[in-house]
Amino acid sequence: MSPVLRPTRLPAVEPAPFGTVALTDREFARLRTLVRAETGIALRESKRALVCARLGRRLRHYGYSTFEEYCDHLQERDPAGEERRRLANAITTTKTDFYREQHHFDFLRDTVLPALVRAGVERLRLWSAGCSTGEEAYSLAATLLDGLPRGRPWDARILACDVNGDALATAEAGIYARELVAKVPAVVLKRHFTPVPGEPSLVSVNAALRELIAFRRINLCQQPWPIRTKFDVIFCRNVMIYFDRATQSTLLQALVAQLVPGGYLFLGHSESLLGAEMRLTYVARTVYQKPPPTGQG
Ligand SMILES: C[S@@+](CC[C@H](N)C(=O)[O-])C[C@H]1O[C@@H](n2cnc3c(N)ncnc32)[C@H](O)[C@@H]1O
State the first-to-last Cα distance of the chain, in angstroms, to the nearest integer. Answer: 92
Confidence band of 147 (pLDDT split at 50, 70, 90): very high
Confidence band of 294 (pLDDT split at 50, 70, 90): confident
pLDDT > 60? residue 88: yes
- Which ligand 1 atom is at minimum distance from the Cα of 132? 27
> Mean pLDDT throughout 145-157?
91
Ligand 1 pocket test: pick from 34, 105, 162 the residue with the most ligand atoms within 8 Å of its Cβ. 162
Same domain, 222 and 172: yes
State the pLDDT at residue 19. 55
Indicate the number of domains in the chain: 2
pTM of the full predicted structure?
Answer: 0.91
Q: Which domain holds residue 73?
A: 25-91
pLDDT > 80? residue 249: yes
Same domain, 85 and 160: no
Residue 17 counted as domain residue: no
Same domain, 224 and 149: yes
pLDDT > 60? residue 31: yes
Rounded Cα distance between 40 and 243, Å, is 6
State the pLDDT at residue 295. 59
Same domain, 57 and 125: no
> Mean pLDDT throughout 190-199?
97
State the pLDDT at residue 293. 78
Residue 15 counted as domain residue: no
For ligand 1, the distance from its centroid to the CA atom of residue 96, given in whole angstroms, is 9
> Mean pLDDT throughout 23-28?
95
Residue 1 counted as domain residue: no
State the pLDDT at residue 4. 36
Confidence band of 153 (pLDDT split at 50, 70, 90): confident
> Mean pLDDT throughout 109-122?
94
> Mean pLDDT throughout 2-8?
36
3-class SS at 236? strand
Task: For ligand 1, atom 26, name the residue with the nearest CA.
Answer: 94
For ligand 1, the distance from its centroid to the CA atom of residue 132, given in whole angstroms, is 5
Asked if 137 and 160 count as a contact pair (C-beta separation under 8 A), the reply is yes
pLDDT > 80? residue 266: yes
pLDDT > 90? residue 52: yes
Q: How many Cβ atoms from other residues are within 10 Å of residue 11's Cβ?
A: 9
CATH code of the domain covering residue 77:
1.10.155.10
Which position has the higher pLDDT, 120 or 4? Answer: 120
Beta-ladder partners of 123: 155
Annotated active-site residue in 58, 162, 232, 237: 162
Rounded Cα distance between 137 and 116, Å, is 19
Ligand 1 pocket test: pick from 92, 158, 234 the residue with the most ligand atoms within 8 Å of its Cβ. 92
Annotated active-site residue in 54, 178, 210, 217: 54
Confidence band of 163 (pLDDT split at 50, 70, 90): very high
- How far, in Å, are 15, 28, 52, 70 from residue 65 at the CA level? 14, 15, 12, 9
pLDDT > 50? residue 206: yes
Task: For ligand 1, atom 14, name the residue with the nearest CA.
Answer: 130
Computed over every residue of the chain, the mean pLDDT equals 90
Residue 14 counted as domain residue: no
